[in-house]
Amino acid sequence: MLVALFTLILLGGGGNDPKVFDKVHRNLIEQVVDDDERSAVVLAEMKAAQKELDQTSKQLQDVVKRWGQLDADKSAGRETLEPLLGEARQIQLDAAQAFVDSVFEMRSQLTEEEWGEVQRELDAARRMEADD
């Protein structure tokens, strides 16, 4: 039970590696950004950011696995398991900071008009997904 709850908290219920920067996002940048050099910089940043997110997911899965090993007999105490919570929080904090840094780096490569267009398209896509 604790392992399931821990997994739910850390991984959002799954362990599926979310692809935040998928082909739709890459195509959108290629469509909106006319300057090939700036587009290439943004696409490279997206690729690096996705790699970082994938690594974070693997690190959190490892924490969940170690939690399960430490509490295999369901008798591990707080002093045994609490350090894993701290480790997981730090992984998440580092990932959030890296993600924000990546978004601002991508944004710095786009004009205001391009950034607005990207945001409008992404908002529209999210609304369509929500309607499904």
Least reliable range by pLDDT among 46-50, 106-110, 128-132 = 128-132
The Cα–Cα gap between 2 and 21 comes to 32
pLDDT in tens, 35-74: 999 999 999 999 999 999 899 999 999 999 999 999 999 8
- Beta carbons of 10 and 60 less than 8 angstroms apart: yes
Predicted model pTM = 0.78
Tell me the two tokens of residue 24.
Answer: 């739709």
Model pLDDT, residue 24: 83
Rounded mean pLDDT of the chain? 85
